[in-house]
């Protein structure tokens, strides 16, 4: 049975670097890849991709746009990895990124987590602590961290 690997992306173009890491360190047939995008709960309109109602579009335009962007990012990542020969699934989950990533890794019994890291100043790290560092502190599996942006 293929070993599960979790790839935690955001909806930025820099996430492509994480897909490149996955293709470099994982092998089709040996690893089953799971793409995860954690979205802030305030921007989650639906739990699953679904059409928006007129009321939702009028009342929550920013949330609908953000969720649609996230859904497209997950779908594009899954498609890219499947085209590379991997068995791959993707999902978007509403919640705090650290909690979502840790819970999904435990649920899937992952052997590896691949995620990004933003290069922050000391002040930046103080004001906005590293998600990757928090995940590393909470999981018992290796975490491959790739630089995804400034």
Tell me the three state secondary structure of residue 24: helix
Residue 123 pLDDT > 80, yes or no?
Answer: no
Q: How confident is the model at residue 9 (pLDDT cuts 50, 70, 90)?
A: very high
Query: What average pLDDT does the structure give for the chain?
Result: 86
What is residue 62's predicted lDDT score, i.e. its pLDDT?
Answer: 78
What is residue 14's predicted lDDT score, i.e. its pLDDT?
Answer: 81
Helix segments in 8-130, DSSP class H: 16-25, 54-59, 61-83, 97-108, 122-127
Read off φ and ψ for residue 110, nearest 5 degrees: -70, 150
According to CATH, the topology of domain 3-146 is Rossmann fold (3.40.50)
Angstrom distance (rounded) from CA 2 to CA 96: 28
Burial group, residue 137, by CB count within 10 angstroms (0-12, 13-18, 19+): exposed
**At a CB cut-off of 8 Å and minimum separation 6, what does 28 contact?**
84, 85, 86, 87
What is residue 52's predicted lDDT score, i.e. its pLDDT?
Answer: 75
Token pair of 16 as six digits = 């492509």
The percentage of the chain sitting over the pLDDT mark of 90, rounded to a whole number, equals 55
Please tell me what DSSP assigns to residue 26.
Answer: -
- How many DSSP H helices and E strands does the chain contain? 6, 5
What is residue 150's predicted lDDT score, i.e. its pLDDT?
Answer: 46
pTM for this model (two decimals): 0.87
């Amino acid at each position: 049975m293929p070993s599960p690997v979790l790839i935690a992306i955001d909806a930025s173009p820099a996430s492509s670097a994480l897909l490149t890491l996955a293709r470099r360190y994982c092998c089709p047939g040996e690893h089953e890849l799971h793409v995860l995008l954690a979205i802030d709960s305030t921007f989650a309109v639906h739990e699953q991709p679904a059409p928006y109602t007129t009321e939702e579009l009028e009342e929550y335009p920013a949330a609908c746009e953000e969720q649609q962007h996230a859904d497209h990012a997950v779908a594009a990542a899954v498609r890219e990895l499947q085209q590379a020969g991997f068995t791959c699934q993707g999902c978007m989950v509403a919640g705090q990124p650290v909690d979502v990533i840790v819970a999904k890794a435990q649920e899937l019994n992952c052997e590896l987590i691949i995620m990004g890291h933003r290069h922050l100043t000391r002040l930046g790290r103080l004001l906005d602590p590293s998600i990757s560092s928090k995940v590393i502190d909470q999981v018992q599996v290796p975490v491959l961290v790739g630089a995804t942006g400034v």
